Amino acid sequence: MAEIVQQRMENRIPELEQLEKVGLFSKKEVKSLLKLATALEYKLHRLIITKVYFIAYIQYEINVLELIKKRRSRIGYQFKREEIKFSIISRINNIFRRATTKWKDDVQLWLSHIAFCKKWNTKGAISKVFSSMLRNQVDLSSLYYALWIMAAKSELEDRNSSESARHLFLRALLFHPESKKVYQELLHAEKLRKQQKELEQAEIDVVSTHTHTHTHTFLRYEFSPEIVSGKLAEVVYRDATGKIQGADFILSLLTIAAIFDFTKDLQDTIIQDLQSKYTYDSLTWDFMARRELEATVGEELQTAKGRASDIARREERCCQVYDDGWSLCCVPEAMWACYVSFCLERFKRKTDIRELKETRQERLLAVLQRAHDSSLLKEDFYKNWLQVLLSSGDSEQTAVVAMADTQRYRQSVDVWCLALQTMVRLGSGATGKLFQDALTHVNPKVHTHTMGCCEKTSSNMTGRRGLLSVVPAVSMEIKEKYLDWSYRAGGYKKARKTFTSLHESRPFSKAFFNRMIQMEKDQVSRVTMYGETRTNQNQMYL
């Protein structure tokens, strides 16, 4: 062990001497560096080794590398910069390899090594690290497909090697044949590959024409017809859709294909498959409806009202598609969710044309009402419905919708709280009755959710009824909140009166008494301060 450590330290001596010679480190600093490196190296040769030792050693070497970089930048001395830098980076890579050899399954350790290689621009080592990592990862769970994607994208982006990236994607499919993400990235890579080949071909033609103007000879490279025509991307698409079903997956592939301007044929193929195979899927109709917004106009409209009218017509066509698909969709609730989401998105878009805004609001309210009448409106949309009604000032319809929401989702605490908040905001006298209805359908802890929204009522009947809860935890929490409300609403006197009426009512709560003690202290401090101020004023008057 000592011989190995000694040999490795001796290998560092020329590097340290060079650092001392160029003035980057003093003689004392060089000795300190050598001593610390020796201690760290000895730790790696103990009988019991932990990752902490390797991480500490790696961090030490990285700190040295950063320090050298800063000092070179400060003094402007670059002599033998690459030689010394390469020596330290190679040593760090070697320590990483020793660590990953011992802990092969530690993904974080592998990723740290990759991050180091990218930071210090050692692209040649990245491929080797990825290759070793993928070779040693025996876990075939769905989480590990991301490692294959990272490796392939590194080849494509860092090394500009589309062929290597393609091979890695294909190998990833051997281990993860049903991974949607791998197929999506492979399709994107094939399109990038075709684009790259077209750009290279165009560049070669330009250079050849410029160079051989007189002889009219053109230097040409023969690329694979499948690559130039983009047929490989279609093969990837066919293979992917043959193994993985679902409209959402096909739409994700269509989104990738739409990025490139030379994929019209592939896009048409995907749309045809979507319409023929997934007619009963709500996502298909949602996609087809939203396509109507992208329809081209014959001539550009000059006025704002003209453009607004055109947008209104497009939105009307979208709604017609949704209406046609509602009867064919196998999951009507999902179809209504897409329909309402579309109307809500269009309603939230800003416009200066009042007619367009009113049309969108009327359409949204009509669709929400139709979905509710069909008992297919999701719980989350009721909140949006109430917000739109409140903003429009229709108090009567708002109250009707709030009550209907509670009838539709009787077991939801959030629904009851939303209804209570709405009724309090409207100043309705039916709040107390609604609260009692809530207690018969949901957990008694609805008290704690509604105390805050009911504080604006003058009598705070909701809080008083909550004090009678049979659940001790709820009753104690309501006492505390009711005491706080009394203090905020009527000051110390009202809080004292509330405390007197409740302090002997079981169950007891320590926090309830502590809160009243704090109120008493605040009152004493306030009286003392007021008395001192008044005495000083009398003295000044005399």
At residue 267, the 3 state secondary structure works out as helix
User: What is the pLDDT at residue 458?
Assistant: 41
User: What is the pLDDT at residue 220?
Assistant: 42
Residues in the chain: 542
Domain membership of residue 72 (yes or no) is yes
pLDDT category of residue 416 using cuts at 50, 70 and 90: confident
Residues 6+ apart with CB under 8 A from 79: 22
User: What is the pLDDT at residue 422?
Assistant: 86
Report the chain's mean pLDDT, rounded to a whole number: 80
Are 114 and 108 in contact by the 8 Å Cβ rule? The answer is no
Domain membership of residue 444 (yes or no) is no
The pLDDT tens digits for 85-139 are 888 999 999 999 999 999 988 889 999 999 999 988 887 889 899 999 988 865 6
Highest mean pLDDT among 32-41, 320-329, 408-417 belongs to 32-41
Tracing tokens 């025996």 back to the chain, one arrives at 138
Are 364 and 344 in contact by the 8 Å Cβ rule? The answer is yes
Are 483 and 502 in contact by the 8 Å Cβ rule? The answer is yes
Domain membership of residue 26 (yes or no) is yes
Domain membership of residue 5 (yes or no) is yes
Domain membership of residue 77 (yes or no) is yes
Are 145 and 172 in contact by the 8 Å Cβ rule? The answer is yes
Domain membership of residue 34 (yes or no) is yes
Q: Assess whether pLDDT exceeds 60 at residue 442.
A: yes
Helices 107-119 and 123-136 pack at an angle, to 10 degrees, of 170
pLDDT category of residue 156 using cuts at 50, 70 and 90: confident
The pLDDT tens digits for 255-307 are 988 888 778 888 899 999 999 999 999 999 999 999 988 876 556 666 888 88
User: What is the pLDDT at residue 271?
Assistant: 92
Domain membership of residue 97 (yes or no) is yes
Where are the alpha helices (H) located in 103-161, listed in sequence order? 107-119, 123-136, 145-157
The total domain count for the chain is 1
For residue 482, count CB atoms less than 10 angstroms from its CB and return exposed for 0-12, middle for 13-18, buried for 19 or more. buried
Highest mean pLDDT among 350-359, 414-423, 526-535 belongs to 350-359
User: What is the pLDDT at residue 456?
Assistant: 46
User: What is the pLDDT at residue 219?
Assistant: 39
Domain that holds residue 16: 1-103
Where are the alpha helices (H) located in 176-303, listed in sequence order? 180-211, 225-229, 231-243, 247-257, 264-277, 282-291
pLDDT, mean of residues 156-173: 86
Dist. CA 346–CA 352, nearest whole Å: 14
The pLDDT tens digits for 18-30 are 888 878 888 899 8
Tracing tokens 């109307």 back to the chain, one arrives at 343
DSSP secondary structure of 199-218: HHHHHHHHHHHHHTTTTT--
Question: In which region does residue 218 sit, left (phi positive, over 0), alpha (psi from -120 to 50) or beta (all else)?
Answer: beta
Q: Assess whether pLDDT exceeds 70 at residue 203.
A: no
Are 56 and 40 in contact by the 8 Å Cβ rule? The answer is yes
The pLDDT tens digits for 366-387 are 999 999 999 999 999 999 999 9
User: What is the pLDDT at residue 535?
Assistant: 42
Dist. CA 61–CA 168, nearest whole Å: 32
Q: Tell me which amino acid residue 250 is.
A: I
Dist. CA 183–CA 189, nearest whole Å: 10
Return the minimum-mean-pLDDT range out of 74-78, 257-261, 264-268, 512-516. 74-78
Domain membership of residue 447 (yes or no) is no
User: What is the pLDDT at residue 530?
Assistant: 57
Residues 6+ apart with CB under 8 A from 382: 401, 405, 408, 409, 415, 418
Residue 65, phi then psi, degrees to nearest 5: -60, -45
pLDDT category of residue 446 using cuts at 50, 70 and 90: low
Dist. CA 394–CA 446, nearest whole Å: 27
pLDDT, mean of residues 413-439: 80
Radius of gyration (Cα) for the chain, nearest Å? 36
User: What is the pLDDT at residue 542?
Assistant: 32
